[in-house]
Structure 1
C-alpha cells in the first residue's frame, strides 16, 4: 500500500478551482501514484498557475518562451522507502481552452493533463513516436481504470 503525501497550491485567479476539482485531483493522484511508483511512501506537489507564471517557468527551465498547459519537474529523490516524485504545474486557463478546442469537458482535460504530468515524473516521454504511443496508451489505460472505479463508487 502506497502512502501518498500530496501538496496542492492554487496560485491563480483565472479559473476558480472548486472543492470538487480539488477532490477530483486528490482522488486521481491517489489512484494513479500506486500504479506508477513502487515505493511505500510517495510525495507529489501540484500547483495551479496563470499563463504568465507557466510561461516564465517554461522559459527559465526549458528554454521555450511560450505559454503551455502543464509542466512536470521530476525530483526522483529516494530516501529508503520514501520517494519524492516531483512537481506538477497546471495552467488552468489552458486546460479550459484545450477542453473547448478538443470538444470535451474541463474535467476530462484536467484529469488527462494530470495523468500526463504524473507519467512525466516517472520517466515517460513523447519525443519519439514509439515513446509517444507508449505514453498515450498508459494515459488512456489509467484514465479508463480511474473512471471505472469512480463509476463503481457511485
Structure 2
C-alpha cells in the first residue's frame, strides 16, 4: 500500500513515521487490502484539526482523528465509475488527519505511550476508511474488537 505522510507539526520523528507506516501496512494485510491501494495521513495540531472538524462535521472543537473515506458515498451522491477502473487507477482509500497535540494529551490521560496512542488513532482512522463505524452499538463492538485484534496482533498493547 502506498501511504503519503504529511507532517504539518514537525513533531513526528522518523521512528514515529516508520512505526505508523509499518502498523498501517500490517492492518492492510490483516484486512487483505490490495497492495496497489493508496491513502494519506496528515499530522496536524489542534487548531488545524478544529477547523476541519468545524467545517466538515459541524463541531467547533479539536478532535483526535478524522477520516475522509473516498469510497464512501454521501446522501444523494452517485458512485463515480470509470471503464476499466482497475487498470487505470489504483484504489484510493482516502485521508486520515491526526492531531499530535490530542495524541499527546490522550496518551497522558490513558496512561500509555505516545507511540501506542498514535498507533491506536492511525488504526482507528484506517478502519473508518475501510467502512467501519461506531455510531450503532453493534457496529462499535465490531470496529473496536477488530481494532484491538489488529493492535494486539501487531504487538502494540496498552
What TM-score does the superposition give when structure 2 sets the normalisation length?
0.85
> Is residue 20 of structure 1 aligned with residue 15 of structure 2?
yes
Q: Which residues of structure 1 form unaligned runs of 5+?
A: 149-154
Q: Secondary structure at the match of 1:39?
A: coil
Highest CA radius of gyration, 1 or 2?
2
C-alpha deviation, 1:133, in angstroms: 0.7
Any stretches of 5+ residues in structure 2 without a counterpart? 72-79
**What value does the CA root-mean-square deviation take over the aligned residues?**
1.7
Structure 1 runs, 4 residues or longer, greater than 2 Å off: 34-40, 76-79
**RCO comparison, higher one (Cα < 8 Å, 6+):** 2
| Aligned residue pair count | 143
Q: Which has the higher strand share?
A: 1
2:44 is aligned, of 46, 49, 58, to 49
Alpha-carbon distance in 1 for matches of 2:55, 2:95? 15
Q: TM-score, normalised by structure 1?
A: 0.87
Q: Quick one: distance in 2 between partners of 1:83 and 1:37?
A: 13
